[in-house]
Chain A
């Protein structure tokens, strides 16, 4: 079975532009979470979606938005890019909403976003 897949793997944008990142969860998983990992730090939670509904949001500005599609894949959108948005963006999937007992997260390889 395929794991969590993310695209693109690398992306270079300039300040003020908009970007869309894509994620396909493991087959059968209904929950997708997005994390931002700045160099040298642990991942920081951005969003969680379960059954196409937002189930949690981290401490990120409204420039960040996401959605989940009927096939459980997800997109993360970032508007008006800033230099500080440069990071590795990770997508994770789980069977159900993270927070429940026995819920393990499985991560994709990430999208490396560079904002110039």
Chain B
């Protein structure tokens, strides 16, 4: 099946810093979503972005489908941004179910 790798696995930043999270996938996809899992376990859908660029406030995402990667940018980090960020994809050749990546654990220090 499709492999989804995220980097870095862990990231610790001071409040106000910017960060870039990366998601690499091994096959062509028709669906890519970014999620934030807060410390209480709730998964929040941030972006649906199989290609192109989107922005929502301090967050933006870019997917370059031809090169099989996606980036999530977080600017002016706040402590509430802490948690685990997951990239999830659906392969064009798989069972059409979301496959989640390994996650990036982000910790924002006040």
Contact = CB atoms under 8 A, between A and B. Distances in A.
Interface of A: 33, 41-45, 48, 56, 58, 88, 90, 92, 97-99, 101-107, 109-110, 112
A45 B45 contact: no
Contacts of B99: 45
Interface in B83-99: 86, 88, 90, 95-99
B34 to A, nearest CB: 11
9 contacts: A43-B100, A44-B100, A56-B97, A92-B43, A97-B96, A99-B97, A101-B31, A103-B48, A104-B48
Interface of B: 30-31, 33, 35, 40-45, 48, 50, 86, 88, 90, 95-103
A56 B90 CA distance: 13
Contacts, number: 61
B42 A42 contact: no
Nearest to A9: B41
A107 B48 contact: no
A99 B96 contact: yes
A104 B48 CA distance: 6
A41 B40 CA distance: 15
Contact of A58 (B97, B102, B103): B97
Query: Closest 5 CB pairs between A and B?
Result: A99-B96, A42-B100, A107-B43, A45-B97, A104-B48
Nearest to A40: B103
B90 A98 contact: yes
A107 B96 CA distance: 18
A107 B42 contact: yes
Contacts of B40: 109
A90 B100 CA distance: 13
